[in-house]
């Protein structure tokens, strides 16, 4: 299949691209390199440097993709709070313009990178199933939920098939430890450089950590299969405290770099985990990489870079 992959020079997107190429698919990557890196683009993929807010019509016209795998986004939650209009411009209008071109150029399926924790907001059920109440507490979460609602509209109105993959906290090699980064990347980079890490508040907040290779596999299954249109959680259903995470990384690294505790991060969720039962039942997906093994791979990456 010809797959148009937005954000394919980024952390998750580049892992998806490698897996698609290994399966023999033709991959066309669109990325504006605002956060992605050109060196992440795997050999064998077509690359177009372009902003998704343009709708990328020339790319659709030239390559005639059969599937859109939409990973590109404004992912900085703090920036979304400070600049909600920019967040909406990229994540909502950019997505709508891509979907318009999907209809115009006969794309049959969309796989959309959504968010579990950000869409559900302050959870009342653990782990959260897909029908959990959805009250995002950041413009980023609102924009991802809007993307899902637009997908539903295009499915009903035009028959465009879609799968919205609601990621838990994705971690692994190539994640950027700067900016609005995942805590695994931040801790791993600090340990590799023997810098002191800061844990927000008491460190008792929990997250559902899912390895990037498993997330790439979920995308592959959603692209190659034909599951019913809708949302699918992609996580482990396991809550890990931030303190426990740091202790694991600290022990695995063999470094003498104890962490310090800083002030609470305003608005930070205390607990987060998603239930992947639907993805298991419908897509045949389940997380395969255990946390310790995934952390070892991540540490090796940061030691080497």
2-42 pLDDT, tens digit per residue, is 999 999 999 999 999 999 999 999 999 999 999 999 999 99
**With pLDDT > 90 as the criterion, what percentage of the chain qualifies?**
93
Q: 140 catalytic, yes or no?
A: yes
What is the torsion angle, in degrees rounded to the nearest 10, for the CA atoms of residue 185, residue 191, residue 197 and residue 201? 60
Cβ(3)–Cβ(25) below 8 Å: yes
The CATH number, out of the four listed (3.90.25.10, 3.30.428.10, 3.40.1160.10, 2.60.210.10), of the domain defined by the range 171-206+239-272+291-304: 3.90.25.10
Lowest-confidence segment of 77-81, 88-92, 223-227, 229-233 by average pLDDT: 77-81
For 2-170+211-235+275-283, CATH gives: 3.40.50.720
CA angle 202, 208, 210 (to 5 degrees): 135
**180 falls in which pLDDT band (50, 70, 90)?**
low
Residue-level pLDDT at 110: 98
DSSP-derived 3-state class of residue 186: helix
Model confidence pLDDT, tens digit, residues 216-245: 999 999 999 989 999 999 999 999 999 999
Q: Which of 140, 171, 232, 246 is catalytic?
A: 140
Element holding 99 (H helix, E strand): helix 94-104
Lowest-confidence segment of 89-103, 154-168, 174-188, 272-286 by average pLDDT: 174-188
Write down the pTM of the prediction.
0.97
Q: Has residue 265 got a pLDDT over 90?
A: no
Domain ranges of the chain: 2-170+211-235+275-283, 171-206+239-272+291-304
Q: Has residue 267 got a pLDDT over 90?
A: no
Same-fold call for 2-170+211-235+275-283 versus 171-206+239-272+291-304: no
SS3 content of the chain, % helix, strand, coil (to 5): 45, 20, 40
Query: Tokens standing for 36?
Result: 């992605």
DSSP-derived 3-state class of residue 304: helix
């Amino acid at each position: 299949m010809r797959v148009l992959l937005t954000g394919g020079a980024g952390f998750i997107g580049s892992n998806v691209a490698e897996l698609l190429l290994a399966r023999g698919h033709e991959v066309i990557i669109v990325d504006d390199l605002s956060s992605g890196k050109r060196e992440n683009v795997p050999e064998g993929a077509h690359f177009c440097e372009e902003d998704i807010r343009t709708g990328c019509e020339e790319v659709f016209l030239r390559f005639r993709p059969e599937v859109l795998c939409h990973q590109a986004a404004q992912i900085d939650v703090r920036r979304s709070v400070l600049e909600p209009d920019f967040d909406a411009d990229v994540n909502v209008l950019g997505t709508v313009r891509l979907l318009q071109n999907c209809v115009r150029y006969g794309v049959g399926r969309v796989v959309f990178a959504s968010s579990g924790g950000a869409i559900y907001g302050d959870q009342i059920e653990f782990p959260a199933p897909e029908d959990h109440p959805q009250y995002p507490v950041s413009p980023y979460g609102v924009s991802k939920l809007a993307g899902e609602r637009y997908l539903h509209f295009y499915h009903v109105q035009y028959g465009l098939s879609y799968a919205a993959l609601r990621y838990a906290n994705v971690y692994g090699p190539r994640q950027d430890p700067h900016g609005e980064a995942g805590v695994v990347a931040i801790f791993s980079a600090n340990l590799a450089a023997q810098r002191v890490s800061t844990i927000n508040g008491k460190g008792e907040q929990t997250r559902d950590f899912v390895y990037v290779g498993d997330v790439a596999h979920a995308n592959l299954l959603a692209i190659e299969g034909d599951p019913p249109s809708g949302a699918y959680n992609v996580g482990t259903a396991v809550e890990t405290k931030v303190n426990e995470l740091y202790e694991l990384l600290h022990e695995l690294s063999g470094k003498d770099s104890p962490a310090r505790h800083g002030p609470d991060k305003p608005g930070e969720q205390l607990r987060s985990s998603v239930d992947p039962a639907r993805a298991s039942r419908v897509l045949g997906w389940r997380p395969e990489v255990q946390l310790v093994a995934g952390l070892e791979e991540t540490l090796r990456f940061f030691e080497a870079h």
